Amino acid sequence: MKKALMVVSFGTAVPDARQSIGQIEKELCAAMPGYDFYRAFTSSIVRGKIEREEGLHIPGAGELAEQLLAAGYEEVCCQSLHVMPGLEYEKMCRELAPYRDKFVRFTVGEPLLSAPEDCRRLCGALLAGLPERTEEEAWVYMGHGSEHFANAVYSELENQFRALGAERVYVATVEGFPGLDYIRGRLQTRQVRRVTLAPLMVVAGDHARNDLAGDEEDSWKSVLVREGCEVRLDLRGLGDFPAVREQFVDHCRNGK
């Protein structure tokens, strides 16, 4: 039986940020011997930019499923590398729906944060790698954010940090709630003057490099520096963390 592992990400048009995706894909391949590996990105904007600028065609999820069917694959294991089961994950599932019953077996592994235990597991993994912080220091994570109700996962993460004893680790988003104003209020209330900014995204791509850490006046770094904070940066994507890669592998093995 021909078997395929398809790994589906939102994607990034920043070439060197793609290595975070590659690290996860490598561990998924190691965990799924006997499966031929294929990559797909859900963002048509990202795919189009990569094709224009690099001459590299990366298929969408539905396009890849069609290719696998035509190539005679009978079993497909699909793993989502989305952070939460939001709009992009739902788009992936819609694209795959017409193909699932055309294979002998077709499973889909859930995104990184699909249940409260996933959030607690991620928070514990991230805290294990953080340096000790004084009362004047905070660690701030930037997630992408969404209008989808799954955006509530970011508030769940912050509450899990509190439950694990981390009082000055905050989570906000660039395109949802809570946003930077929430962070500013927390820092002011706690009289925090030293802040480390880090992306809560699989890759440290455009949002991390520009909205979070860029030199433009409206970046999070610039805003906080103007307000008197000493700002440091930790621009590692979640894919750079072994524990996060292991979490994706577990989801892949438990795909349905």
Please identify every residue annotated as catalytic: 144
Q: Are strands 194-199 and 3-9 parallel, antiparallel or unpaired?
A: unpaired
Instruction: Determine the distance from the C-alpha atom of residue 241 to the mean position of all C-alpha atoms in its chain, rounded to a whole number.
Output: 12
d(CA 184, CA 67): 48
**Sheet containing 169-173: order of strands:** 169-173, 137-143, 194-199, 230-233
Question: CA-based angle 148:21:235, to the nearest 5?
Answer: 80
Residue 43's alpha-carbon distances to 59, 60, 61, 113, 204, in angstroms, are 10, 8, 10, 19, 16
Rg (CA), the chain: 19
What are the φ/ψ torsions at residue 154 (nearest 5 degrees)? -70, -35
State the number of CA atoms in the 13 A half-sphere of 240 facing the CB: 17
